[in-house]
Structure 1
Amino acid sequence: MEKTATAYKEKLKELSFLPLICSCFYPQRRSSISCDFEDMEVKPINTRVTGQAFEVILKSPSPVSDAVHSLPSPPKKRDVSLEDIQKKLEAAEDRRKSQEAEALRSLQEKRDRERDVLLKAMEENSSFSKVTEEKLTLKMEQSKENREAYLSAIMERQQEKERHAMDVRRNKQLMLVLSEKS
């Protein structure tokens, strides 16, 4: 059955369908549509304006085609010994262990990287905190110095005004005393 199907497929590849296609476009009846090939015969079954039907008859395959289509038998498997099985199992176990070791090594590298990143972040955070604290302390000291300087300047002006006011009072008193004596 398989050889017949293969032969059928090969013959269909060889068969020219041009006359069949042309017959669809030219609906006139053709008297001899039947075709003969070496091991195939094509006979029209039903011919209509809408289409045609054909019967493909395959002849028995020739002995030459049997040799071409025969498939080689699959290679025979050799007997597997207990030692071979144990070697394969040991090799599989070694592969599994090496894969586990590689996975553990990869995880350890990731953990080390994470730890390094965390340490670096903590160092940067602490250095940032120190710098910020120093800047803030310096700013507070400058602010304190500026405030003290401002307060001392106000105090000096106040004292200057008081001295000036006292001098003006003394001058008025002297003027009054002098104006009384005169």
Structure 2
Amino acid sequence: ANLTCVEVRKRREASFVIIRAWIFLCEDIQVKELDKRASGQAFEVILGSPAPDAKAEFPLSPPPKKDLSLEEIQRKLEAAEERRKSHEAEVLKHLAEKREHEKEVLQKALEESNNFSKMAEEKLNQKMEANKEKRSAIMAAMNEKFKEKDKKLEEVRKNKENKEVSCEEN
């Protein structure tokens, strides 16, 4: 049988009332420990026969519920509505805080990404500038070398021409 939580709770409360009544009415009670588990403890309660002169201090059935007036019902409904609204406002506040935190985290990540990009770009520009300067220096050195070779070649040509001219004159 499918029971709601309220029905299960009512049956459990009624069972506890009956057990308490038996405990007060009985003279000899034995309690045996059955089992110890991580989830709880189990006991077996052995009740003796009730004493003939004992009167029940507890009723065997739960006390009848009093009828609620329309005002009490309305007040309870209003209180429940207030609790619901309060809970809803708290949930919305929590969600807003969570969104704000997410925005902050996203903004921070974006800033870090931009900073990293700028630093990488600056580093790359510095390397490129250094390579450009190095290449210019190498090219200038090579040009200087070629000019010197050209000078030597020109001198050799002049010397050769001078020798040829002097040989022809002789």
TM-score normalised by structure 2 residue count: 0.63
1:120 and 1:142 map into 2 onto residues whose CA distance is: 33
Partner in structure 2 of residue 63 of structure 1: 52
Does 2:105 correspond to 1:87? no
Question: Residues 92, 62 of structure 1: CA spacing in aligned structure 2 closer, same or farther, 3 A cutoff?
Answer: closer
Larger Rg: 1
Q: Report the identity percentage.
A: 47
Give unmatched runs, 5+ long, in structure 2. 1-18, 31-47
Does 2:142 correspond to 1:173? no
Question: Residues 61, 164 of structure 1: CA spacing in aligned structure 2 closer, same or farther, 3 A cutoff?
Answer: closer
Task: Report how many aligned residue pairs link the two structures.
Answer: 129
Higher relative contact order (CA closer than 8 Å, sequence separation 6+): 2
Give unmatched runs, 5+ long, in structure 1. 14-57
Deviation at 1:101, TM superposition (A): 0.6
Question: Residues 61, 83 of structure 1: CA spacing in aligned structure 2 closer, same or farther, 3 A cutoff?
Answer: closer
Partner in structure 2 of residue 10 of structure 1: 28
Aligned residue runs from structure 1 range 18-97, under 5 A:
63-64=52-53, 66-67=54-55, 70-73=56-59, 74-97=62-85
Q: Could you list the per-position Cα deviations for residues 9-40 of structure 1 after superposition, in whole angstroms to 9, with x for gaps in the alignment?
A: 938x5xxxxxxxxxxxxxxxxxxxxxxxxxxx
Partner in structure 2 of residue 25 of structure 1: none
Question: Residues 177, 10 of structure 1: CA spacing in aligned structure 2 closer, same or farther, 3 A cutoff?
Answer: same
Question: Residues 62, 151 of structure 1: CA spacing in aligned structure 2 closer, same or farther, 3 A cutoff?
Answer: closer
RMSD over equivalenced CA pairs, Å: 2.9
TM-score normalised by structure 1 residue count: 0.59
